[in-house]
């Protein structure tokens, strides 16, 4: 059976995994990881996406990536190709550094955003590399607790789920991370009817259009009002010229939901907030 095409939903959140070829190491020094992070920052600017969580293991990476209108594969192909070429040149070697195809799953952020972040940050603990994720320097966990944060890492969306103030949100996040509950099975294996998706069948239907949505479809105004109430903002604030990161994130969530539910196109949502498509998801 031919492989299904990748799903591209502008504003969508993806769990991305990229492994070394034959599961071999992809980092050979601290400098390699720093170079990888520098390249990722360049890729985020180039392909207008956001990274909400990451973990660089020895032979693979995990990321929570939110795309714009540019498909995820453009970032991943450029990042893997550029890093691989530089690494091979430095080591005087040839051949494939990574598996030919990265893995990604489109995530129902309303249901699995926080679980995904915790899963990514606990990878070193699960692999018995450290007992506490705070002791692993190559993930975004410590940034969420207030330590060094790369300029390209987006924290606002996740932290806003834990509290209104930064201090309260970080404390609640720490409590959440200390919970030893098992990750939901759906987060690991994906939807049983379509492994490209982490979410239930209703989410899958909204994404692929395989069946019409049940009940009466919400309007764009209703969707915007719902998100404004959830994040305690006004539509006027979201439509203002301000390029506040938090407002950009909320607009991106609205765009993703609008497209998944076939309420409105990205162009229509951008017009509603007085932005062009190319600027709409830009910070």
Residue 192 lies in a domain: no
Q: How confident is the model at residue 210 (pLDDT cuts 50, 70, 90)?
A: very low
3-state secondary structure the chain: CCCCCCCCCCCCEEEEEEEEHHHCCCCCCHHHHHHHHHHHHHHHHHHCCEEEEEEECCCEEEEEEECCCCCHHHHHHHHHHHHHHHHHHHHCCCCCCECCCCEEEEECHHHHHHHHHHHHHCHHHHCCCCCCHHHCCCECHHHHCCCCCCCCECCHHHHHCCCCCHHHHHHHHHHHHHCCCCCCHHHHHCECCECCEECCHHHHHHHHCCCCCCCCCCCHHHHHHHHHHHHCCCHHHHHCCCCCHHHHHHHHHHHHHHHHCCCCCHHHHHHHCCCCHHHHCCC
Same domain, 171 and 58: yes
Tell me phi and psi for residue 172, to 5 degrees: -65, -35
Structural domain tally of the chain? 2
Can you give the residue range of the structural domain that contains 72? 13-186
Contact by Cβ (8 Å): 269, 68:
no
> How does pLDDT run across 241-253, given as a tens digit for each residue?
877 878 888 888 8
> How does pLDDT run across 2-43, given as a tens digit for each residue?
677 888 888 899 999 999 999 899 999 999 999 999 999 999
Same domain, 28 and 127: yes
Same domain, 39 and 178: yes
Same domain, 86 and 162: yes
Q: Which of the residue ranges 49-53, 114-118, 174-178, 208-212 would you say has the lowest mean pLDDT?
A: 208-212
The pTM for the full model equals: 0.77
Same domain, 28 and 149: yes
> How does pLDDT run across 55-90, given as a tens digit for each residue?
999 999 999 999 988 899 999 999 999 999 999 999
Domain containing residue 167: CATH number:
3.30.70.1290
Q: How confident is the model at residue 108 (pLDDT cuts 50, 70, 90)?
A: very high
For residue 202, pLDDT beyond 70: yes
Same domain, 161 and 224: no
Same domain, 219 and 182: no
Residue where one domain finishes, among candidates 147, 165, 186:
186
Give the rounded percent of residues in the chain with a pLDDT score beyond 90: 57
Same domain, 163 and 59: yes
Q: To the nearest whole number, what is the mean pLDDT of the chain?
A: 88
């Amino acid at each position: 059976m031919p492989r299904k095409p990748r799903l591209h939903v502008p504003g969508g959140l993806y769990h991305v995994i990229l492994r070394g070829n034959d599961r071999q190491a992809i980092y050979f020094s601290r400098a390699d990881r720093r170079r990888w992070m520098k390249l990722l920052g360049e890729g985020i600017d180039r392909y207008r996406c956001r990274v909400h969580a990451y973990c660089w293991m020895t032979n693979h990476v995990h990321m929570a990536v939110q795309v714009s209108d540019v498909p995820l594969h453009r970032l991943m192909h450029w990042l893997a190709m550029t890093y691989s070429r530089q690494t091979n040149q430095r080591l005087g070697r040839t051949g494939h550094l990574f598996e030919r195809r990265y893995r990604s799953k489109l995530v129902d952020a309303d249901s699995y955003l926080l679980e995904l972040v915790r899963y990514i940050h606990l990878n070193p603990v699960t692999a018995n590399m450290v007992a506490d994720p705070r002791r692993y320097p190559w993930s975004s966990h410590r940034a969420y607790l207030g330590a060094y944060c790369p300029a390209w890492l987006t924290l606002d969306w996740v932290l806003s789920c834990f509290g209104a103030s930064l201090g309260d949100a970080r404390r609640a996040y720490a409590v959440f991370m200390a919970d030893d509950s098992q990750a939901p099975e759906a987060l690991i294996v994906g939807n049983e009817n379509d492994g490209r998706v982490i979410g239930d069948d209703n989410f899958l239907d909204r994404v692929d259009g395989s069946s019409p949505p049940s009940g009466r479809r919400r309007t764009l105004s209703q969707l915007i009002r719902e998100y404004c109430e959830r994040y305690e903002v006004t539509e006027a604030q979201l439509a203002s010229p301000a390029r506040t990161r938090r407002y950009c994130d909320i607009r991106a969530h609205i765009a993703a939901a609008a497209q998944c539910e076939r309420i409105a196109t990205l162009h229509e949502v951008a017009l509603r907030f007085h932005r062009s498509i190319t600027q709409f998801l830009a910070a």
